[in-house]
Chain A
Amino acid sequence: MHLDDLTGVSREEARRWRRVALVLILIAGLGGPGQTVDAAQPAEQSVPDGFVPMDDVPAEEQLPAAPLLAAAYIVVWVLAIGYLWTIWRRLGSVEKELAEALRRVGETDGA
């Protein structure tokens, strides 16, 4: 019953509000990080680390770097190639289905 009074919200009005919203987002985007960065500095420094630099640890305690490095690179390669392979496989099955569907379309057209 009340809703009847509320008909005809003008497009103009909606557009104006959208513009206001855009300006607000921009302000927040520019002002947000800027405002907090200077305040954030002391907090960052006050975080206690509790980690010893690895130089202070005796040599036999240290992990060998080269195998870790190689492992990291292999992970990158495996992930990239693996993902490409999944795309290729999915594409293959879709294309097979596509060819099948096209054949059926051809049949129904011919009949």
Chain B
Amino acid sequence: MRRFLQVTWLVVRKDLRVESRNKEMLLTTLFFAVSCVLVFSFGFVRGGEAIEGSASGVLWITIAFSGTLALGRAFERERHHDALRGLLMAPVDRPAIYVGKLVGVLLLLAVVEALVVVMVAFLFQAPLFRHGWWLLTLLSLGTIGFASVGTLFSAMLLRTRSRAVLLPVLLYPVTIPVLIMGVSGTFALVQPEPDLVLARVWVSLLFFFDIVFVTLALWTFEPVMTE
């Protein structure tokens, strides 16, 4: 187990170091998320007021869209100079490489979400911080669910030709439950009379989704990635 964590940390550190040098992924994803929220606000704000209930949807769709953008490039650096083969040939647990990549994506998305939540609360007049801890739980569980499937698919599609198109095509249908759970859970929190019981149902569902899909991804990563 210690070895597993060590390898995970090495992969995360490598990505963080590369990212800290040029900040390409962070800045482009952040900017994409901002423009996404803006585009949505032109669709869902009428006469200076947001359409009722639109905030939770905008929040999660923005996360899903910018998440796809980040996931699509999660393994981009490994594509050059056969770096992926080198990584996969290293005598370490393959799942540890997957977890390392997943943690990297999660860190990136955490930064994006921090900005998006503030923006949505500001532009859509949504009381997102009223039950801040609940929202934080929903967001972290939802992001783990989305990114765990997404990281695996992104790794899978690395060798295919049309990966840029295929990633969203495969990812969205499979992660629709996350979207339903996240949007409904957030809506239960921001509606005029918050329904915490319902929010708890969605949180527990997301929790089980995460357990099943993270284990499934750990399980399938090795056989899917071997040539």
Contact with A along B103-119 (1 / 0, CB 8 A): 00000000000000000
The total of Cβ contacts below 8 Å across the A-B interface reads 59
Q: Which residue of B lies closest to A33 (CB)?
A: B208
Contact A42 B219 (CB under 8 A): no
Q: Flag whether B218 is at the interface (Cβ < 8 A).
A: yes
Interface residue total, chain A, C-beta cutoff 8 A: 26
Residue of A6, A13, A17, A43 touching B201 (CB-CB under 8 A): A43
When distances are taken between beta carbons in the complex, the residues of chain B under 8 Å from A17 are 4, 95
**Distance, CA A17 to CA B7, complexed state (A):** 16
The reply on B19 being an interface residue by CB < 8 A is no
Chain A residues within an 8 Å CB radius of B204: 35-36, 39
Q: Do B215 and A9 touch (CB < 8 A)?
A: no
Q: Which of A6, A31, A35 has the most CB of B within 10 A?
A: A6
Which of chain A's residues 11-28 have a Cβ closer than 8 Å to chain B? 13-14, 17-18, 21-22, 24-25, 27-28
Q: What is the size category of the interface that chain B forms with chain A?
A: 20 to 34
Residues of A within 8 Å of B90, CB to CB, are 3, 6
Q: How far is A29 from B225 in the complex, measured between Cα atoms in Å?
A: 26
Among A21, A32, A43, contact of B215 (Cβ-Cβ < 8 Å) = A21
User: Closest residue to B9 on the A side, CB-wise?
Assistant: A2
Task: Enumerate chain B residues within 8 angstroms of A6, measured Cβ to Cβ.
Answer: 3, 6-7, 90-92
A2 touching B10 by the CB < 8 A rule? yes
A101 CA / B224 CA spacing, docked (Å): 33
A106 proximal to B (CB < 8 A): no
Q: Within 8 Å of chain B (Cβ to Cβ): is A7?
A: yes
> B163: which A residues are within 8 A, CB to CB?
none
Q: Report how far A42 CA is from B205 CA in the complex, Å.
A: 16
Tell yes or no: B198 within 8 A of A by CB.
Answer: yes
- Please list the residues of chain B having a beta carbon within 8 angstroms of any beta carbon in chain A: 1, 3-4, 6-7, 10, 90-93, 95, 197-198, 200-201, 204-205, 208, 211-212, 215-216, 218-219
- 6 sample A-B contacts, Cβ–Cβ < 8 Å, listed by A number: A2-B6, A13-B1, A21-B215, A27-B211, A32-B208, A39-B200
